[in-house]
Amino acid sequence: MRSKPSEITRGRRGERGAALVMSLLVAMLLLAAGGALIATAGMTVSNAADATAEAQAYYAADAGLQAALTVIRRNREGEDGLEANFHNIACGTDAECDNVGNDLSEWLTYDEDTGRINLSDSGDLSYALTVTDPSKPTDPADADATIGAAYSPRYLLVRSTGYGPRGAVKQMEMMVDRFKFEYDAPASLVLRESEAGGTAHLTIDPGSGGPTYSGQDKNSAVLKGAVGVGNTTYNSTTDYAIALSAMSGIPPSEQPGGVIRMGSGAGEQPWPAVVADAQSARDFVDFAEEEAQRAEDEGRGYHGGCPANNFALNGLIFINADCSLGPNNSGKGFMVVTGDLTLSGSYNFEGLIFALGDGNITRNGGGGSSNGTIYGGILAARFGANGGFQALTFNSNGGGGSIVQYDSVAVENALALFGPRTIGIVEK
């Protein structure tokens, strides 16, 4: 007699080896899953390494931009004493050049083998720089690509290429404006009118038969106004009419550009932004004081009360008091005076003089046949801690043969004392 288990066994002979097949299938699936996991882990490690290299290349490019800014801000001495002005930075020399891109090697040390600036001993981290004038073509075959010896770009385009491990490369670009503060002079002498309705707006005595007020640029054919004044009405006349009458004693040949109307109406030129309103003027005075203090700390300016009469004023200057300046105070730069300003004798200055605050301007004579020259420009506005502009007096009755003439180069050099301004940075 057959037992029950034997019958069951004989009935399943066709299933022999099924367990082995299932085991193999499961093993293959596990092997595939494990292989995929290993491959994924390997790719993750590789991607992480690549991402790290890319990040390192990015920071190397950023380090290049910071190094370029250090040069542009004149915080690094150049080879053979080359000054870090915008022309020299774009050219690498104070002579004429093509706008092909300077690498700043006059201020930064490149590796002779790689042609890059190394950030690590192994050379895995490095950067290279090129600086061009974005307003000019870069093809040397183009005649307009030339940067003249006397030309200084308004803007610089700095391109930094950063290099990291594993062949990673990143490129960043930065646009730099030469001027942190901008002033487009409408005239060689600009006098801001009072905003008070019940008082005289302007008192002007420019002298006669001797003083020159010229809007003719000392360096080009550009013609600005000689004197710019407001055009609002007070007692049935305007400041413009008052200025015209006051200037009538000066021959037309001694006032190229003439008197121009300032304001916001038809036929009027807009006031410079710094004196568009009294609060803007107050804000600028605060800004200028901070910048002048920094300049004095760095040995390139003056900040304080009226200096001694044998102290030459050069650079960024801020005088927070009434002040009389004589011939031995002559200099060049950007001067801000917040009190009464008296220019005595043959006082000479190249640049911009801003008389902004609770003061007026007086020009005294004496000091020889020439009574001093101001090449650049003068801006004057009177105001207090609150409220609008107040009545201003400009008295040059004792000015003799004094000269106030617009000078674009002197103005640009004065504005450059505030330092450059970074407009924007992009990753390419």
First-to-final CA distance of the chain: 91
pLDDT at 368: 47
pLDDT in tens, 180-201: 999 999 999 999 988 766 566 7
Q: Report the pLDDT value the prediction gives residue 198, as an integer from 0 to 100.
A: 59
Of the candidates 82, 88, 79, which has an alpha carbon nearest to the alpha carbon of residue 110?
A: 79
* Cβ contacts of 402 within 8 Å, gap of 6 or more: 207, 210, 211, 212, 343, 363, 370, 371, 372, 373, 374, 396
Q: Which of 317-321, 338-342, 395-399 has the lowest mean pLDDT?
A: 395-399
Is the model's pLDDT at 268 over the cut of 70? yes
CA 48 – CA 50 distance, rounded (Å)? 5
- When pLDDT is cut at 50, 70 and 90, the band that residue 27 belongs to is confident
pLDDT at 310 over 60: yes
Q: Give the three-state DSSP class for 156.
A: strand
Task: Decide: helix, strand or coil at residue 71.
Answer: helix
Q: Are 187 and 224 in contact (CB under 8 A)?
A: yes
Q: Give the burial class of 268: count Cβ atoms within 10 A of its Cβ; 0-12 exposed, 13-18 middle, 19 or more buried.
A: middle
Residue 136 has pLDDT above 70, yes or no: yes
Where residue 16 falls among pLDDT bands split at 50, 70, 90?
low
Q: What is the pLDDT of residues 356-397, one digit of tens each?
A: 999 999 988 654 446 789 999 999 999 999 999 999 999 988
Residue 367's pLDDT is what? 47
For residues 387 and 407, what is the distance between their CA atoms, to the nearest angstrom?
A: 33
The two three-digit tokens of residue 82, written as one number? 């080359």
Mean pLDDT lowest among 197-206, 223-232, 317-326, 395-404? 197-206
What share of the chain has pLDDT > 70, as a percent?
89
Give the residue extent of every domain in the chain: 54-178, 187-416
Give SS3 for 33: helix
- C-beta of residue 186 within 8 angstroms of C-beta of residue 406: no
Residue in 174, 62, 181 with CA at minimum distance from that of residue 422 = 174
Least confident window among 128-137, 203-212, 264-273, 334-343: 203-212
pTM: 0.81
The better pLDDT of the pair 369, 35 is held by 35
Name the average pLDDT for the chain.
Answer: 89
Residue 122 confidence (pLDDT) above 90: no
Lowest-pLDDT range of 25-29, 163-167, 227-231? 25-29
Confidence at 401, pLDDT banded by 50, 70, 90: confident
The predicted pLDDT at position 2 comes to 53
pLDDT for res 177: 97
Query: Which is more confidently placed, 252 or 305?
Result: 305
Closest CA to 212 of 256, 248, 244: 256
At residue 366, the pLDDT reads 55
